[in-house]
Structure 1
Amino acid sequence: MSLIKLTIKGISYSQTQTGAYALVLSEMEGNRTLPIIIGAFEAQSIAIALEKEIRPPRPLTHDLFKTFANRFSIDIKEVIIHKLVDGVFFSSLVCEKDGIEEVIDTRTSDAIAIAVRFQAPIFTYENILDKAGVYLKLEEELGLNDPSEIQEISLDTESLLGVDNESSYSKLSVSELNEELDQAVADENYELAAKIRDEISQRS
Structure 2
Amino acid sequence: MSLVRLNIKGISYSQTQNGAYALILNEVDGERKLPIVIGAFEAQSIAIALEKEIKPPRPLTHDLFKSFADRFDIVVKQVIIHKLVDGVFYSSIICERDRIEEIIDARTSDAIALALRFNAPIFTYKNILDKAGIFLKFSSKEGEEDGERETVVVDDMLGNESNKATSESYKSHSLEELYKLLDSAVANEDYEKAAKIRDEISKREENS
Aligned counterpart for 1:152 among listed residues 133, 146, 153? 146
Please report how far the alpha carbon of residue 195 of structure 1 lies from its aligned counterpart in structure 2 after TM superposition: 4.0
Distance (Å, rounded) in 2 between the aligned partners of 1:97 and 1:12:
35
Unaligned runs of 5+ in 1: 139-145
Q: Which residue of 1 aligns with 2:67?
A: 67
Distance (Å, rounded) in 1 between the aligned partners of 2:203 and 2:15:
29
Per-residue CA deviations over 1:117-174 (Å, capped at 9, x if unaligned) read 11100000011011215xxxx6xxxxxxx9414x934899xx99989414655567xx
Q: Supply the RMSD in Å over aligned alpha carbons.
A: 3.5
Distance (Å, rounded) in 2 between the aligned partners of 1:87 and 1:4:
19
Moved more, 189-198 or 94-103: 189-198
Moved more, 53-62 or 74-83: 53-62
Q: Which residue of 1 aligns with 2:129?
A: 129
Q: How many pairs are equivalent?
A: 186
Q: 1:196 to 1:47 in 2, by over 3 A?
A: closer
TM-score, normalised with respect to structure 2: 0.73
Unaligned runs of 5+ in 2: 139-144, 152-163
Q: Which residue of 1 aligns with 2:204?
A: 202
SS in 1 for 2:120: coil
Please report how far the alpha carbon of residue 16 of structure 1 lies from its aligned counterpart in structure 2 after TM superposition: 6.8
Q: Which residue of 2 aligns with 1:141?
A: none
Distance (Å, rounded) in 2 between the aligned partners of 1:2 and 1:50:
27
Q: Which residue of 2 aligns with 1:32?
A: 32
SS in 2 for 1:148: coil
SS in 2 for 1:56: coil
In the alignment, residue 29 of structure 1 is paired with which amino acid? Answer: D
Residues 75, 96 of structure 1: 8 Å contact kept: yes
Residues 44, 190 of structure 2: 8 Å contact kept: no
Please report how far the alpha carbon of residue 188 of structure 1 lies from its aligned counterpart in structure 2 after TM superposition: 3.8
Residues 21, 43 of structure 2: 8 Å contact kept: yes
Distance (Å, rounded) in 2 between the aligned partners of 1:160 and 1:55:
25
Q: 1:48 to 1:160 in 2, by over 3 A?
A: farther
Matched, 1:165 2:175: no
In the alignment, residue 146 of structure 2 is paired with which amino acid? Answer: E
Per-residue CA deviations over 1:85-141 (Å, capped at 9, x if unaligned) read 0100000000000000000000001101110111100000011011215xxxx6xxx
Q: Which residue of 2 aligns with 1:57?
A: 57
